[in-house]
Chain A
């Protein structure tokens, strides 16, 4: 194995790229879960976002339109889940699984004609002087806008949850929906909005995969990243700051194992490829000792009659 072929600066730079899809999806799911809803359909919304973003970007030639399309597609798909769980009062676990299975099929169907097509490239953000900084510039300031949007989103979500009235209401709905309802808050409406936001974020994460990270469309390309995002929310104890940390950790593991594969490490490729999933399990085990942080109403159905 030739470790010298791994450039630490490139590695750290690509870590930020690898972390971005997970970051978006996990931040979206964080809001959904803080509102007391467990949406296991992240994988399905992500892949639908990936294909929708890809198609829109290819057809319009604009990656920006692609990302917008992906967010809309993710949000639309998540409305199916919202309808099932909030209006039809269906089991959230089963509905989330259904969303994932449906999304995987739908994306494969939509993407039929787009396999092997090259998407328009997403431009790097021009940060002028910053990029010229030694080392740091080439790690932090060489990316496209979405990398920074993801980080800003994390800050915005932190501010929203911790410092605004709307954030407080959202948390109240997630902690005790009956009390929130009694106070006159529209539990179902708030949850619909949270689910839509989660869908849009998952869609953005998916589009980042198909438009920037890979960049190509292949069936089933999310390969469990949506599920890892779900694990990440648990890992982060439902806190946005720790979601960023977790996403970067995941990105690091992923980039490192890809680099080791390329460098011809003595470990077979398949074992390296399973490492992100194994590490996710290990981290989950460590973090699940403390369940006290989970929103109290998480996963419980709400019906105003009682």
Chain B
């Protein structure tokens, strides 16, 4: 049979090969799933991966790519910092909601004043809101040793309830004829996160995502903090001896990832979504976890992975409307991708050899 041997250092080749193999395997098994659902697998895969980019209606889908990839990348960059240090913030969805609520709350409070400074203030409000929400599990972890995975996740459900309460109560549009949901920020110029270049989908959130990629890249590869961060994840004891304060590391990582998720929520609510409504959050915070892993927790990788995941979202909408493929199938597809990726990681960290002949 085979023997699994630990590599002294992870294979650089497989580090980047694994995601590619995982994507190919997902296409094969996803295709099989589509076939079971009575959908032509080849056509479906083409519609997901080809049509949005080069198809007949790509002028409509291409901007969507950036709109969807923006928040995914922004959140995933924040998560990747913590994941590298062994800090598991999986409540980004909640931080995303709270960031959006803080920003929207600020805008709705001063409505209808036209202030040029309002938009930057909203960005700050979103970042602070998200950061504070992320710091709750961080504080509880450092102070009481509470598991940050469970607390950050519980806070997603709390944030969702808060969102519902705001959409139906405090932030409800007074001129909305009693319908749930706030005023539409798209119609409030000072607060609107409008498309920067018409027809591209480029908005401030995408710009922020790109900046965060560059920022993370520089910090991780050129800065002492990045080194400490990676050390905390790979060798916690060594990091401690080197003078890294684990408490500070948790607070910084959760704070940054919360702030980025909050900002993502802010850009979404002031732009593509437009209003505080019950169904504002669509799971970007969870999909971003897949993005972070698919991108190997590497900023450039996350950029590419974010675009790929955005593609599956758009492709999912196309296959749903044109081929009647349920939207949930895409969710399964995304989950499958993460499975294959995790499995393929074996090849990065271990070597597989035939175990037939052993030297004595």
Taking Cβ atoms with an 8 Å cutoff, the residues of A that contact B are: 40, 80, 83-84, 88-91, 93-95, 97-98, 101-106, 108-109, 112, 219, 223-224, 227-228, 230-231, 234, 268, 270-271, 273-274, 277-278, 280-281, 284-285, 288-289, 291, 303, 305-306
Contacts and interface: CB of A to CB of B under 8 A. Distances in A.
B342 A98 contact: yes
A109 B329 contact: yes
Contact of B346 (A90, A223, A278): A90
18 contacts: A101-B289, A103-B335, A104-B331, A104-B335, A112-B328, A224-B153, A227-B150, A227-B153, A228-B154, A274-B158, A274-B162, A277-B154, A278-B154, A284-B146, A284-B151, A303-B4, A305-B5, A305-B6
- Indicate the member of B327, B330, B336 with the most A CB atoms within 10 Å: B336
B332 A106 contact: yes
Given A88-B343, A281-B155, A273 B161 contact: yes
Contact of A231 (B154, B343, B346): B154
Contacts of B290: 98, 101
A102 B330 CA distance: 10
Nearest to A280: B154
A281 B151 contact: yes
A271 B293 CA distance: 34
A284 B146 CA distance: 6
Contacts of B336: 102
Chain B CB count within 10 A is highest, among A40, A106, A274, for A274
Given A98-B339, A106-B332, A303-B4, A288 B169 contact: no
B346 A289 contact: no
Contacts of A80: 339
A235 B212 CA distance: 38
A230 to B, nearest CB: 6
B88 A93 contact: yes
B342 A105 contact: no
Contacts of A40: 149
Nearest to A111: B328
B154 A285 contact: no
Contacts of A270: 161-162, 164-165, 168
Given A268-B165, A285-B140, A305-B4, A90 B332 contact: no
B345 interface: yes
B146 A112 contact: no
B286 interface: yes
Given A102-B338, A284-B146, A285-B144, 8 more contacts: A97-B90, A105-B329, A105-B332, A108-B331, A109-B328, A109-B329, A277-B157, A289-B145
Interface string B259-294: 000000000000000000000000000100110010
B5 to A, nearest CB: 7
Interface string B132-168: 0000000010001111011101111110011011001
A289 B343 contact: no
Interface of B: 4-6, 37, 88, 90, 140, 144-147, 149-151, 153-158, 161-162, 164-165, 168-169, 286, 289-290, 293, 326-336, 338-339, 342-343, 345-346, 349-350
Contacts of B165: 268, 270-271
Contacts of B346: 88-90
Contacts of B155: 277, 281
A272 to B, nearest CB: 9
A80 B146 CA distance: 28
Contact of A101 (B164, B286, B326): B286
A90 B349 CA distance: 10
Contacts of B335: 98, 101-106
Could you tell me the dominant secondary structure of chain B's interface residues?
A: helix
B132 to A, nearest CB: 15
B329 A231 contact: no
B302 to A, nearest CB: 15
A101 B331 contact: yes
Contacts of A227: 150, 153-154
A88 B345 CA distance: 8
Given A89-B350, A105-B332, A271 B161 contact: yes
Interchain residue pairs A-B with the least CB separation, the first 6: A105-B331, A102-B335, A108-B328, A270-B165, A105-B332, A90-B342
B150 A234 contact: yes
A161 B343 CA distance: 32
Nearest to A233: B150
A288 B139 CA distance: 13
Contacts of A278: 154, 158
A259 to B, nearest CB: 18
Contacts of A288: 144-147
Given A80-B339, A105-B334, A277-B157, A289 B6 contact: no
B158 A84 contact: no
A165 to B, nearest CB: 30
A134 B264 CA distance: 57
A80 B4 CA distance: 19
A40 B50 CA distance: 34
B345 A90 contact: yes
Contacts of B161: 270-271, 273-274
Nearest to A286: B144
Contacts of A106: 328, 332, 335
A95 B37 CA distance: 26
A216 B293 CA distance: 35
Contacts of A306: 6
Contacts of B328: 105-106, 108-109, 112, 219
Contacts of A305: 4-6
A280 B137 CA distance: 13
